[in-house]
Amino acid sequence: MIIQALVKRYHDVGGCLPGWQNRFVDYAVNIDEQGAVLEIIPLEYNEGSKRIRQSFMLPEEPQGRTRGIKPAFLCDNGGYFFGADSSRGSEKFRASGELHNAVLEGLDSRIANAIKLFFSASNIPDGLAENGNYVIMVDGKYAHEDSDICNAWNAYRVSNIKGNEMRCLISGKTDIQTSLHGKIKLAGVSMGSVPLISVNSESFASYGNTSSDPAAQIGQEVSFQYVTALNDLLQSKKHHKRFAQDTMVYWAEGNDSDEAQMFSWFAEPGESDKNRLDSIMKRIIEGGNVYVEGCDFDKKFYMLCLSPNAGRISVRFFYTDSFGNIIKNIAIHYQNLEIIGSSKFTYTPPWIILSETTVKKTASDAAPLLAGQLIESIFTSKSYPLTLYNSILVRIRSGEEVNKTKASIVKAVLIRNFKSEVAKMSLQKESTNIPYTLGRLFSVLEYLQERANGSSTIRERYFSSACSNPKNIFPKLLSLSMHHAQKIDNATWFEKMKSELIDRLNADKPFPSSLNLQEQGEFIVGYYHQQQDRYTKREEK
């Protein structure tokens, strides 16, 4: 399914021709007609505080370059173009010259002759950077833009295609068998780029295959097409987003510029997107027709989540549905998160959710698999990962504040995973749910101590135990509350609230000996709702 979808993407957008690929380039080597180096031109530029590398459509990079000497045509590093390699520089330069002479053999043109002369004499210019890719220019004109040079490369590539014919599993056509698939440039991969499909050693063998056998029954044409499509998606800012260590690429059938833009608003919203999201969200939740200019909500939409690994790429999930259904799933997620209180973001983006699970409040520190699990649950409407829920409970029990983001996450999990009756936006005054009531009672006792002493230590000292083992803590807290009440001139409201809440508990066993995971979440939501109700009344007063 993944490969078929990527091949279709290649045909929908009209991908580059076989033998060509988008490659990042750092410098241009400008030479004259005699092959002498005129200058080294840096091609990077600044975009704010970032250094941006330019990319060009160039002859493809040879596969399997981690071992041996494999030069590339028209674009390569300093070791191949100048011999700037302390160990095998002369061999690399000689191999690169042999390749360029072989490709340009029989071609008599100004640019072709200049390139041949460049490789006939080794010279290392001043200011040469050993790292980075170089592309060839002749008197200020890129060599890869010359039609004669391009035709020579295409002819050379076709004449050197070798291998056994086989029936491709994807296209169903007869094609040349490919042993190595192209590399994918994924953020976080230690080697920069690695194959999506590969057999690295016999320990990963399938049906007796070894590293010398083809990775899959996929022909060279399909292999090139899916690799090209995926790399293009990863280079397009409108078609991928990074969540912690995971990268998700997304696209719709055909021309998907408007759908991709709208999806990016929903997938990772900022406050600048609030107004446009408000109107769309309202119509979705009310079940009305949603219209956004340029967007086709019946289009098939694809999402592929990838994660870097040692020497390979892991697929976290692949999901496809109509664009409208996916937007609806995201809208339901934001509806699940809605809870009383104020925060910086009206629509909490996934990176904020992930950061709340960590000590340093940085999404990159989240559990390795959590990002992929979270975004899959958001976009596909599956149950939220319990890893997320447990991580938030741990942070709260460790003494962190029960802020709006944490409370909204707990509420969302209670709605989707546990179908809890008390997971509402604001205080449920008539609820008789025991964990929810205990959370409210804890908030009242904390407020009482704060009024009596000017500050409260109840939450820091007792919240974790009260949330998990109420029987051990609440009798002690109620006893302390009597002393706190004596310090206040008028404690009528506190005594009334305590009585009302205790009356809603079981008469025989008012305080359970333990609360399970769902009940701990209900306790936290009850506590948060009561806290927000207190703040609201204070503001009104």
pLDDT tens digits, 404-437: 999 999 999 999 999 999 999 999 999 999 999 9
Single-letter residue type at 524: I
Q: Yes or no: say if 315 and 504 are a contact pair by the CB < 8 Å rule.
A: no
- Helix (H, G, I), strand (E, B), or coil: what is residue 486? helix
Whether the pLDDT of residue 252 is over 90: the answer is: yes
What tokens does 485 get? 């009440």
Q: Which of 85-89, 154-158, 218-222, 384-388 has the lowest mean pLDDT?
A: 85-89
Whether the pLDDT of residue 50 is over 50: the answer is: yes
- Would you state the pLDDT for residue 425? 94
Question: In the chain, what percentage of residues exceed pLDDT 90?
Answer: 65
Q: 47-85 burial, b for 16+ CB within 10 Å, e for fewer?
A: eeeeeeeeebebbbbebeeeeeebbbbbbbbbbbbbbbb
Give the domain ranges of the chain.
Answer: 14-160, 246-300+317-416, 434-540
Whether the pLDDT of residue 539 is over 60: the answer is: no
- Helix (H, G, I), strand (E, B), or coil: what is residue 177? strand
Which pLDDT band holds residue 277 (cuts at 50, 70, 90)?
Answer: confident
Q: Yes or no: say if 259 and 252 are a contact pair by the CB < 8 Å rule.
A: yes
| pLDDT, average across residues 57-86 | 88
- Would you state the pLDDT for residue 203? 52
Which pLDDT band holds residue 204 (cuts at 50, 70, 90)?
Answer: low
- Would you state the pLDDT for residue 540? 47
Which pLDDT band holds residue 352 (cuts at 50, 70, 90)?
Answer: very high
What distance in Å separates the CA atoms of residue 40 and residue 46, rounded to the nearest whole number?
18
CA 159 from chain centre, in angstroms, equals 41
- Would you state the pLDDT for residue 26? 92
What distance in Å separates the CA atoms of residue 74 and residue 62, rounded to the nearest whole number?
12
Which pLDDT band holds residue 189 (cuts at 50, 70, 90)?
Answer: confident
What distance in Å separates the CA atoms of residue 271 and residue 346, rounded to the nearest whole number?
7
3-state secondary structure 41-63: EECCEEECCEEECEEEEEECCCC
Q: What is the end-to-end Cα distance of the chain in Å, rounded?
A: 60
| pLDDT, average across residues 122-151 | 87
Q: What is the mean pLDDT of the chain?
A: 89
Q: Please tell me which residue, 540 or 358, carries the higher pLDDT value.
A: 358
What distance in Å separates the CA atoms of residue 43 and residue 50, rounded to the nearest whole number?
14
| pLDDT, average across residues 369-374 | 94
**Cα dihedral angle (53, 57, 63, 66), rounded to 10 degrees?**
-20
| pLDDT, average across residues 219-242 | 92
Whether the pLDDT of residue 376 is over 50: the answer is: yes
What tokens does 272 get? 């600048």
Residues facing residue 309 across a β-bridge: 312
Which pLDDT band holds residue 165 (cuts at 50, 70, 90)?
Answer: confident
Whether the pLDDT of residue 54 is over 50: the answer is: yes
Element of type H or E holding 52? strand 50-52
Please count the other Cβ atoms lying within 10 Å of the Cβ belonging to residue 203.
8
